[in-house]
Amino acid sequence: MKICCIGAGYVGGPTMAMIAKKCPEIDVMVVDINAERIAAWQSDELPIYEPGLLEVVQEARGRNLFFSTDIDEAIRAADVVFVSVNTPTKTFGEGAGRASDLQYWELCARRIKDVSTSDKIIVEKSTLPVRTADAMERVLHAGDKQVHFEVLSNPEFLAEGTAISDLESPDRVLIGGHETESGQVALQTLVDIYASWIPRERILTSNVWSAELSKLTANAFLAQRVSSINAISQLCEATEANVAEVAHAIGTDSRIGSKFLKASVGFGGSCFKKDILNLAYLCETYGLHEAAAYWQQVVDMNEFQQNRFVKTILSSMFNTIAGKRIAVLGFAFKADTGDTRESPAISVCKELASEQAQVVISDPKALDNAEKDLADATGIMFEEDPYEAVVDAHALAILTEWDVYKTLDYQRIFDAMEKPAFLFDGRNILDHTALHKIGFEVYSIGKGRLTHLD
Ligand code: NAD
Ligand code: UGA
């Protein structure tokens, strides 16, 4: 069997590498219009940082895993075509700022239709609005070509930073197919591929629309938990309750569960915001205004939380940060990735810079992306070494929960900083009592502040 995947990004690259590793009898060809990205996949400097990914790629590359820019040839040769291109929020026209921009997906469908000379299974790997398969089938079957395309929905649930373990041992794989004979045959083909390494009971099957909608719903529920605990963090700060204690207390209720209850400066990443906006837009398209407003609030609360963090910095530092050096530790949207898409650090740093602070950013993996994200902001500096970043700083803000920040020498950092030395822990990863003892003015999310000033 031959598989092709269009889109060699954060999803296409790792998912195909895992299929190739687990199914040595299947030829897997990953293609992209971005030649630089493809060249990087062919080297040992992979285009994305993901723990354990290089080893998986190295095991299969050249054996049954290949990367290429020859999209047409890869499509022609394939029995199964995964489409894993980006589906960002639309920036123009009807639905701008909310709807999903499907132009890359539709271009792929047209390409597949134009170059195919044999029947194929087309797999939606990208996250798409419910009923996209309907539109794609019409594009694929337009004209008088005698080739049949069976569309399946197989949304991806991996999280960045843990992509390899998520792919190796997922909670579930979801495959949606049509309830026709050819739909069920196609569905079984994909089930058999995953069954090479995933227990059959974890491979869920459904109709296409349920699979499409389950992906948006899963992200909306996850993000909703973060916004919910962040809303409670605000009340904690006002009442001397401790959000970590509240999260622990509610998380031990098995009906609630303990995951995704970490209060933070806000959720980031390329998908939560875009997928929830898309869900809200879809609800509105179907005239479901109350449902749309409900989901929109998850995004609004997240934006408020980011903005609130900057307001805390400003008000605690005597309402002026102009000319003050502020060291930002962590720019990636979460630990163990270099990805900065929709990272809360972007808006926080831009707001700090607009207050004329001198912002110095440090991050173990995301400095290149940070420089691109902040290319149009002034007063921003980049420094690999966190100990250098804090020299003469009035404040230190933790924006990503990198392990390395938990074990820094905070006495050394305190000694290097201006006094009073402010510390804002946007991820609640540090020992705040110990930092207060060192002499820091400590502010965190959802806990009372520990200060020496009042
Ligand atoms: P990405 O931007 O990293 O990768 C997409 C790739 O598609 C790019 O390399 C781009 O050059 C390529 N591409 C675009 N149009 C093309 C075309 N016509 N022909 C060939 N290549 C083309 O995106 P991603 O993060 O991998 O996300 C892809 C999809 O998967 C999105 O729908 C996203 O919502 C979903 N998703 C992402 C994650 C994640 O963790 N990033 C997880 C689950 C699902
Ligand atoms: C998320 C989902 O977890 C994946 O299942 C999904 O496949 C993916 O989106 C996608 O569709 O792209 P990802 O964005 O990579 O994965 O990372 P998460 O671990 O979900 O974190 C998202 C954001 O929420 C991060 O900024 C993280 O720091 C934040 N977060 C997470 C919190 O603030 N608190 C928490 O308790 C958990």
341, 423: one domain: yes
Q: Is the CB of 103 under 6 A from ligand 1?
A: no
* Domain end among 206, 222, 251: 206
Q: Percentage of the chain surpassing pLDDT 90?
A: 98
Please identify, by atom number, the ligand 2 atom nearest to the C-alpha of residue 166: 5
Closest ligand relative to 74 C-alpha: 1
Whole-angstrom distance, CA of residue 249 vs CA of residue 42: 48
Question: Does the pLDDT value for residue 63 go beyond 70?
Answer: yes
Q: Is the CB of 338 under 6 A from ligand 1?
A: no
Q: Of the candidates 18, 12, 132, 137, which has an alpha carbon nearest to the alpha carbon of residue 84?
A: 12
Domain that holds residue 373: 207-454
| Averaged pLDDT score across all residues of the chain | 97
Q: What is the pTM of this model?
A: 0.97
248, 153: one domain: no
Q: Which residues are known catalytic residues?
A: 271
146, 289: one domain: no
The count of domains in the chain is 2
DSSP 85-120: ----B--SSTTTTTSB--HHHHHHHHHHHHH--S-E
181, 228: one domain: no
**If you average pLDDT over residues 154-178, what whole number do you get?**
98
- State the pLDDT at residue 453: 74
328, 453: one domain: yes
Omega of the bond leading into 47 within 30 degrees of 0 (cis): no
From ligand 1's centre to the CA of 253, what distance in Å? 37
From ligand 2's centre to the CA of 333, what distance in Å? 9
Q: Of the candidates 422, 443, 429, which has an alpha carbon nearest to the alpha carbon of residue 237?
A: 443
**If you average pLDDT over residues 287-315, what whole number do you get?**
98
* Domain end among 155, 184, 206: 206
302: its two tokens = 């997240």
pLDDT band at 423 (very low <50, low <70, confident <90, very high): very high
* Domain end among 178, 206, 234: 206
Q: Which residues lie across from 29 on neighbouring strands?
A: 4, 66
Strand order through the sheet with 422-425: 380-382, 358-362, 325-329, 395-398, 422-425, 441-444
Q: Is the CB of 333 under 6 A from ligand 1?
A: no
Question: Does the pLDDT value for residue 454 go beyond 70?
Answer: no
224, 302: one domain: yes
- State the pLDDT at residue 304: 98
113: its two tokens = 């239709």
253, 186: one domain: no
202, 228: one domain: no
What letter represents residue 100's amino acid? S
Q: State pLDDT tens for residues 81-132.
A: 999 999 999 999 999 999 999 999 999 999 999 999 999 999 999 999 999 9
351, 229: one domain: yes
386, 303: one domain: yes
Neighbours of 350 (CB within 10 A): 16
Q: State pLDDT tens for residues 168-221.
A: 999 999 999 999 999 999 999 999 999 999 999 999 999 999 999 999 999 999
From ligand 2's centre to the CA of 420, what distance in Å? 34
pLDDT band at 144 (very low <50, low <70, confident <90, very high): confident
Nearest CA owner, ligand 2 atom 29:
267
pLDDT band at 145 (very low <50, low <70, confident <90, very high): confident
Which CATH number is 25's domain given? 3.40.50.720
- State the pLDDT at residue 232: 98
Residues 6 or more apart whose CB falls under 8 angstroms from that of 393 comprise 324, 325, 326, 327, 360, 416, 417, 418, 421
131, 158: one domain: yes
- State the pLDDT at residue 168: 98
